[in-house]
Amino acid sequence: MIQKNTIFAKKTAADYIRETEADKKTIEVLNQVIDALIAKGCYDPINQLHGYIISEDPTYITSMNNARSLITSVQTDDIIRVLLRVFLKAKVEEEKKNIERR
């Protein structure tokens, strides 16, 4: 009998937070897009990226510094995956610090 979720049961949080090459590209694109949104001065990067991710409408992203073209070079599901991985990584690091303080 095959155990349910056997593969996942053997993984630790560290297995899920490892950055891939695709993640590195997505992170670089996000950094450049966020920098362009901030440089534009009138946009909240979080709101603009949220609008883009939800709608996949590139007009949420400024064309300044080629940001709109850059954001469309990565899939929105890759953006979400990277954001979740970064969040989980921060959570794991915070838990490690809490354990070290004890």
- Residue 2: predicted pLDDT: 47
- Give the CA count within 13 Å in the CB-facing half-sphere of 78: 17
Model's pTM, two decimal places? 0.78
50-71 pLDDT, tens digit per residue, is 999 999 999 999 999 999 999 9
- Asked whether the predicted pLDDT for residue 5 surpasses 60, the reply is no
HSE toward the beta carbon, residue 75, CA cutoff 13 A: 5
Map out the domains of the chain as residue ranges: 20-101
Alpha-carbon separation of residue 46 from 2, 33, 34 (angstroms): 43, 11, 8
Confidence of residue 1 (pLDDT cuts 50, 70, 90): very low
Percent of the chain clearing pLDDT 90 (strictly above): 62
**Which among 84, 86, 82, 59 is positioned nearest to 72, based on CA atoms?**
59
Q: Which residue has the tokens 């004890």?
A: 102
- Quote the crossing angle between the two packed helices 45-55 and 21-40, to the nearest 10°: 120
